[in-house]
Amino acid sequence: MKRKEVIDFITNISLLILSCIILLFPTLKITDVKLVLELIFSFYTILKFTGFILVFKEHDYENLFTSLVSLGSLISLFFIKLTTQNIALILLVYLGFMSIIKLKKADFYHDRSNKMWILRLFILFTFLILGLILSLNLMHENSVQILIIGFYFVINSLLDTIDPLTSYLMRSNK
């Protein structure tokens, strides 16, 4: 695997593990939605920015943009009263910006005549549809909201893990 693929893979697996741990929070009687969102957005900001710095020479800005969107979402948590509608709004805005980033990444692959752009478009549409469905199902109690948010970020981490893994497998089959 290339250095960038290894870093992206490790970052996405770390975020997947964090998301899976968050799925355990309701079982542990942790039902503070603000705490969960702060944890997720903090880790996304730190890990994605670290990943960007480690592969800066690759000229791939997806991790930088993701960290900036996560930082913006984290900052918004301190200025917005967290009601169910506001949580859904934050996740929908996050979803919108992340969709733009994923579309830009698909375009980046398309410009290089790489067939990965088809996979990136599939990932984009899957992320968009599942994110909309999960964001609109937040009208429940806090423990259910945490589960939905956990699933949202498990899906995001899984979809982001597909990219470096597929790149590696495509190269190794040649």
The confidence score (pLDDT) of residue 60 equals 79
**pLDDT above 70 (res 123):** yes
The 10s digit of each residue's pLDDT in 6-57 is: 998 999 999 999 999 999 999 898 888 899 999 999 999 999 999 999 988 8
Of 41-55, 73-87, 107-121, 139-153, the one with minimum mean pLDDT is 107-121
- Record the tokens describing residue 101, joined without a space: 């980033």
Residue whose token pair is 């490790």: 10
**pLDDT above 90 (res 168):** no
Could you tell me the sign of the dihedral formed by the alpha carbons of 13, 14, 15, 19, in that order? Answer: positive
- CA atoms of 61 and 65, how far apart (whole Å): 6
pTM: predicted TM-score of the whole model, two decimal places: 0.85
Query: Taking the domains of the chain in order of start, what are their residue ranges?
Result: 3-168
Average pLDDT over residues 93-118: 77
Percent of the chain with pLDDT over 70: 95
Length of the chain: 174
